[in-house]
A and B are shown apart, each in its own frame.
Chain A
Amino acid sequence: MFIDFFLDVFETHKKQDAIVWNNTIFSYGWLKEKVFSWQQILKETNIQPGTVVMVEADYSPSSIALLLALVENAAIVVPITASVAHKKAEFIDTSEVELVISIKPDDSYKMTHLKTQATHEHIATLRSMNIPGLILFSSGSTGKSKAAVHDVAKLLEKFKVKRHALRAITFLLYDHIGGVNTLLYTLSNGGCVITVSDRQPDTVLATVEKFNVELLPTSPTFINLMLISEAYKRHDISSLKTVTYGTEPMPESVLTRFNSHFPKIKLLQTYGLSEIGILRSKSESSSSLWMKVGGEGFETRITEDNILEVKALSGMLGYMNAPSPYTEDGWFHTGDEVEVKGDYIKVLGRKSEIINVGGQKVYPAEVESVLLQLDFVSEAEVYGMSNALLGNVIACKIRLSESTEGQDKKTLKIEMKKFCKKHLEGYQVPVKFHFDHSEQFSSRFKKQRSL
């Protein structure tokens, strides 16, 4: 019932590539059979509709088929990937998981029944309507991750509109709203889901070359790493038509560098949140951070203090472990500060990420963007440090490129300050530099705001 429109697409495309996994191609005909075989397993093990099922997996033929079978069975799915393994117990507890299905690296599975009986009101709501659910955890840069409960019937609605079939890499993870979106978009249009074993620039770009990937949905951090690593020189990525980026503010300098290297690749910004799903967006141009957001099922408005609010037809029911974030009239307060130009908006950053230096606002992304223009800076993370004189001052964590080995840090520091002073206001220039050799991005290829 819920996945009929998927099965129709699978039938029409049954001879075509559905999934590439471990260098093996699986057809839509195969996938359809696999969905049926999972439905059979769920039936035999007596998994009732409304069961809260944690699926511990990465993208694989079996995990993709399982997801669809669970949706059809009106289960409430909690996807989780190895990247959050350390939070597994917390997630099981918060989302009242009743059954864990783990998909192993060889694509076999293991089921573990738990004693919990889920009673949360959002789960009860889904059960009473006999509708499948999806629970996604927000990354929660501070404190506990929040569990957002979605009505999957509503979430699937937008995928019924036919769009281009693309060969896409599922770069964003299986338990991330962006990853779920890429997966459902690709399958509902008869495109090909191309999985990667890891998310290193060379692995990803080698996959692009080998399987003629057309769409790479990724993050600004990965784009930066791809440029730094020069992986594009080692692989032919001419099949790539579109790269999308979201999840964090894009430094203007990275955008410019990408465009000068790849003038033919369309670079589009996406906008979405675990709580409301992915909005349709349209960038003004490949070189622009301005975009229009909205699309069917989404309304947007800007508050007086320039925060974007979204009303989404497919928005979550609410959190399981936090108060409802909706305004009284049903809008979701994103916390993202935006600049407005006609129909276009530009996301400046999370209000909470803005650093207040002596009453002046500093956006970390802007400062990072300047630092990254220096050849010897591989990565930069800018953060606020409390200071008795100015409230906060700008500090940064720098990963130097290997070419600087043996060079005096003090000289480099002076050079960075000098360069920043040329391109930024005095109060935006970092006063404290911390050098770190380790890579700063998370397993989600999102800059880790560690401080």
Chain B
Amino acid sequence: MITYEQVIELIYSAIDELNASSDNKAVIKQEDTALYGESSPLDSVDLVNVLLSVEEALEDEFEVELVIANEKALSQKNSPFRTVSTLASYVADEVNSQ
């Protein structure tokens, strides 16, 4: 089991990592931060980086193996990648239903 709050923490540290590896980017750590789409400061490669960091942390800290960006995630009616919050809900649901 993993809680929504725990996933949020994982996403925040992924954002920290993204910010650290970039000189000119500072993505704000908020639940309503847009991850992908028009209003998002992230491009697709940044998003992939965040998702892979979260996957790694899930494996390291929770011993859970999950590929976040898969067909299922991409075919959701409402994209789980809209905001930090929607991603956290999606990941928590996926992990808990495993």
Contacts and interface: CB of A to CB of B under 8 A. Distances in A.
Interface in A392-415: 393, 410, 414
A257 interface: no
B71 A429 contact: no
A137 B30 CA distance: 58
Contacts of B17: 410, 414
A417 B67 CA distance: 22
Contacts of B23: 418, 421-422
A356 to B, nearest CB: 14
B35 to A, nearest CB: 11
A418 B21 CA distance: 4
Contacts of A429: 45
B44 interface: yes
A393 B51 CA distance: 12
Main secondary structure of the interface of A (DSSP, over half): mixed
Interface stretch (A265-273, A294-302, A382-390): A382-390
**Range, interface on chain A:** 10 to 19
Interface in B43-68: 43-49, 51-52, 67
Given A418-B22, A418-B23, A387 B69 contact: yes
B20 A393 contact: no
Contacts of B67: 388
A426 B42 CA distance: 11
A159 interface: no
A427 interface: yes
A393 B68 CA distance: 14
B69 A388 contact: yes
A421 B71 CA distance: 29
Interface string B1-26: 00000000000000001001111000
A432 interface: yes
Contact of B73 (A388, A431, A432): A388
Contacts of A421: 21-23
B45 A427 contact: yes
Interface of B: 17, 20-23, 43-49, 51-52, 67, 69-71, 73-74
Given A358-B45, A427-B45, 20 more contacts: A357-B45, A358-B44, A387-B48, A388-B67, A388-B70, A389-B44, A389-B47, A389-B48, A389-B51, A389-B74, A390-B48, A393-B48, A393-B52, A410-B17, A414-B21, A418-B22, A418-B23, A426-B45, A429-B45, A431-B52
> 5 closest pairs, A vs B, by CB?
A417-B21, A388-B69, A426-B45, A418-B21, A414-B21
Interface of A: 357-358, 387-390, 393, 410, 414, 417-418, 421-422, 426-427, 429, 431-432
